[in-house]
Chains A and B, each alone.
Chain A
Amino acid sequence: MPDKQEIFQKVQEILCEALSVDEDEVTPEARLTADLGAESIDFLDIVFRLEKAFDIKIPRGELFPDTLLQDERFVKDGKITPEGMEELRRRMPFADLSPLEDNPDVKNLQDVFTVDMICKFIEQKVAVEN
């Protein structure tokens, strides 16, 4: 089972390939969209690469919960509802949701997607699968 450092290195390599960024830009706190320039199509590319690199399966919505945003119970008037926040906490125990707790605007969800979030997700995933 890879340790935290090995996971970070592999994730760093994957993001460099998927987003055409330099290694030194891929810091743990870097946000995929705001800092590394990821677009919507890149998220699926990243999921494919993670599956291959770590030999795991990542079902749709498990790492990046895009389907949740189309649910009226969880998003109202461009803001994530308390039920939506609860659902995010349940689905994304690996994520730091503080950007949304300060301001539940939907557009702030992308600030939750950081390099560190991916690493923590993988750590949990490989721990469960091994």
Chain B
Amino acid sequence: MRWYWIDRFLEFERGRRCVAVKNVTLAEEYLHAHFPGYPVMPNALVIEGVAQAGGLLVADQRGYQGNMILAKVPKAVFHFDPRPGDTLRYECTLESLRGEGAVVQATVRCGDQEQGEVEIFFANAAHGPRARQLFTDLDLVTMMHYLGAYQVGRDADGGPLRPPDHLQDRLSTLWLGTAEP
């Protein structure tokens, strides 16, 4: 199993907002232990999904440089537990962004119901004395590609969202390619 807690981007507006979906399926191993006979997706994994969608929104706006990592969850309110068969919709907005950190707010919807509200605070791990490289720009762009961000995304001017030019060749060699506008 791979640590992907969103399945696809439906919308992606550089530097502003994104909408990602997560399909909950009984094929996922953890549901059989959480709980035996009553499978529900832990809301901690909803937070992880929001952090992945919001984290890519932040990373894209920063040109895939730096290492913004989930540092704090100032707010997480949930109204019910997601169950197999549910499609969760993570609607994320980039509230603040600067070199040292970023804030993303998200509303989680399941059908026509609001499932939760989450606020994620990201800190730049590349800052300060304990600086670390956690992801390469290629890692982040690859995730964006898998999740369809370049198929639905728009850049700041409303044009199609594209990975940085210097990564296009490397992506091609990985047989990933990118969607044509």
Contact = CB atoms under 8 A, between A and B. Distances in A.
A70 B103 CA distance: 26
Secondary structure type dominating chain B contacts: strand
B32 interface: no
Interface string B67-103: 0000110110000000000000000000110111101
A70 to B, nearest CB: 7
B96 A52 contact: yes
Contacts of B103: 45, 48
B150 interface: no
Interface string B109-138: 000000000000101000001000000000
28 contacts: A17-B74, A17-B75, A18-B74, A41-B71, A41-B72, A41-B121, A41-B123, A42-B72, A44-B100, A44-B101, A44-B121, A44-B123, A45-B72, A45-B74, A45-B101, A45-B103, A45-B121, A48-B96, A48-B101, A48-B103, A48-B121, A51-B96, A52-B95, A52-B96, A60-B98, A60-B99, A60-B100, A70-B129
Nearest to A17: B74
Interface string A57-83: 000100000000010000000000000
Contacts of A17: 74-75
Chain A: interface size category: 10 to 19
Contacts of A70: 129
Given A48-B103, A48-B121, A60-B98, 19 more contacts: A17-B74, A17-B75, A18-B74, A41-B71, A41-B72, A41-B121, A41-B123, A42-B72, A44-B100, A45-B72, A45-B74, A45-B101, A45-B103, A45-B121, A48-B96, A48-B101, A51-B96, A52-B96, A60-B100
Interface in A6-60: 17-18, 41-42, 44-45, 48, 51-52, 60
